[in-house]
Structure 1
């Protein structure tokens, strides 16, 4: 039996893929623990019995570090790194070290945005893998912005001197031992980095806890169905977009039903009826087995879960890696991109009609689905981690 410590940020889309891998490792007789700034979130997603070492650190949506909703482009990237990722790494580092000392893992699995995982593991000499829950970093998105690339490199060097080994050389976003990319080149594109320590294992899809009570009998088999979701971290900017979606879908109510995830409550006054179902949260994975199209923000998790089921998408990227992921969707032919801040109900309606009725998008989504399932997902990731742990020194980790 080997022990694995998962170091994750307090973000649903980053914990879910790791939870699938941890479940597969448990099924093989291994033991896992977690280090996170939000232990309650980990236990909600990975199971109430998950062993979680609490860490300090900012939790999105709380405190004074809230990102201005209209921040975009390089300024959004700067905010993400300076106000979230770097503070999170600095705050998490002591808790990660405590977790390693107490749990004594044979390998650390560090999310690409939980930089303390790789830096502290390198400092203590513990083999570590990168869990890349988005494929955006595998293309050179900063190639046209050399000053931004230099700024980021300097930021990472400074961070290493504060929480890691100043003599270390590894990029904390890319383990020198193993990088698990939870996608495939069929979606990420021909320019994505492959080979060596990088293994494209496909999405880690596993059953997850879901509250009972979803009205499955509401679906009308005579109509197509659409899921609309902006994820869990965009309630601050979603009101206008969701309203335009609602208008577009109501105009197609004779032939389309819609389920809209509305965690911010901006549409609750509209109520539930036979055409549109508005809920604060939805059982996304079971719904993806039922719906015919998805309208979303191009979050990597949502995109991969939709394409795992062969469901085409309308993508409206907001910020961070979402424009890159949206480009991957359209590059693969599996969906249509619209402008989040400017699209109208008419434009959304045309895009929804296209992915529902033009067969090319569904065929492309099917091709990605085939590639995803062939890659192995959580099983392939677990096998790679077993090999990594097997290369650990025979004595227990320090």
Structure 2
């Protein structure tokens, strides 16, 4: 069987998603090596591992990536550039030493595509977050705009795209420099570095804005991590809310305190997951402000199935898990692609959006309104949940990836069913 590398940014949600894909490929007999420190990999599987001889330059770049200060608005371009630079410099030799037969590359890390093209290795692109594939008249997946097709909206999307591209110049220069060094056609953006064989993406047509120009080898697969096939409504004396700000924002104590107060005002019980971001005194503060249960980490899918609704930062995996479980979403985006995910939640009427600066009383009113479901959110969730399940999940993504990597030929939509 084959040996595949998995190349990705060292982000918790991306690693967990790719592990789910790797698990299905390992079940087919393949070996998967993550180009990441072994301690980041949680699967206890002899065919899935981190890189035991990770070059120091890559390890240092990944350590910096995990620093919250390095992911702030004005530093993120430099952080991405440093990670891509280290991979472009070290990956050619590393992939040869590992003797891999191909790679699965996160869309957020262009070095994987550049190096694989340089070495002549087949690779598949995987979108753990919103796809970076660009289209005319669509907002970028990092922009907070709602979708519209009027001239004013199109001008807004185009203008914001120009601004974003200027902000990302540090990253673009690295991509362009190594594309030239590797003897490839000039490229500088993430979407210039995607696979010509197959692209798999979390989500579904039913959760994106209207797409008209995706390549024929692009496949929405639902969710990499398994979803409950028959979600049932919970039965509680009082409504239960699951609240989380994810691994990147779990340290925002003041915001979580507002969430706890809001749930107390709304008369609901709230389970809060802070993902290791708070100390003991802050956890006590959440209890004093009305939290029913506070944990560092919880088995998220199980907790979501026991909740009546979800209050979150619009992290992509959390939103997909909520949709799969048919739980209404109250989203308060903080950064990165979260505003764009929130825009899709409201576009498809799967929940409500509120500012992260909202007061506890405002949040309480939104919680009550969403639980009352006077706007038909529940019916929309049923349809969106079904679309996610029918997309095939990690099993279908693994079938597509395996076929593309072993054949070296494009895999088009409607083929490679699990």
Say whether the fold is shared (TM-score over 0.5): yes
* CA shift digits 1:309-338 (9 cap, x unpaired): 111111111111111110011111101000
1:260 matches 2:272? yes
1:221 alignment partner in structure 2 = 236
1:13 alignment partner in structure 2 = 13
Q: Name the SS for the 2:5 alignment partner.
A: strand
Question: How far off is 1:268 after superposition?
Answer: 1.1
* CA shift digits 1:143-168 (9 cap, x unpaired): 22253355347843542423762423
Would you say the 8 A contact 2:65–2:83 is kept in 1? no
Would you say the 8 A contact 1:106–1:126 is kept in 2? yes
Would you say the 8 A contact 1:109–1:130 is kept in 2? yes
1:396 alignment partner in structure 2 = none
Which runs of no fewer than 5 residues in structure 1 stay unpaired?
Answer: 69-75, 208-218, 394-398
Would you say the 8 A contact 1:179–1:199 is kept in 2? yes
* CA shift digits 1:276-330 (9 cap, x unpaired): 1011221112112211111111111111111121111111111111111100111
Per the alignment, do residues 161 and 268 of structure 1 end up closer, same or farther by CA in structure 2, a change over 3 Å counting? same
Would you say the 8 A contact 1:132–1:181 is kept in 2? yes
- Which 10-residue stretch deviates more, 331-340 or 93-102? 93-102
1:143 matches 2:141? no
Would you say the 8 A contact 2:266–2:365 is kept in 1? no
Per the alignment, do residues 222 and 301 of structure 1 end up closer, same or farther by CA in structure 2, a change over 3 Å counting? same
2:362 alignment partner in structure 1 = 347
2:108 alignment partner in structure 1 = 113
Q: Name the SS for the 1:58 alignment partner.
A: helix
1:73 alignment partner in structure 2 = none
Would you say the 8 A contact 1:122–1:168 is kept in 2? no
* CA shift digits 1:236-275 (9 cap, x unpaired): 4x2222111111111233xx22101123226412476996
Q: Name the SS for the 1:251 alignment partner.
A: helix
2:298 alignment partner in structure 1 = 282
TM-score (norm: length of structure 2): 0.80
Would you say the 8 A contact 1:8–1:111 is kept in 2? yes
Question: How far off is 1:95 after superposition?
Answer: 4.3
Per the alignment, do residues 144 and 280 of structure 1 end up closer, same or farther by CA in structure 2, a change over 3 Å counting? same
Provide the aligned length of Structure 1 versus Structure 2: 366
CA RMSD of aligned residues (A): 2.7
1:88 alignment partner in structure 2 = 83
Q: Name the SS for the 1:5 alignment partner.
A: strand
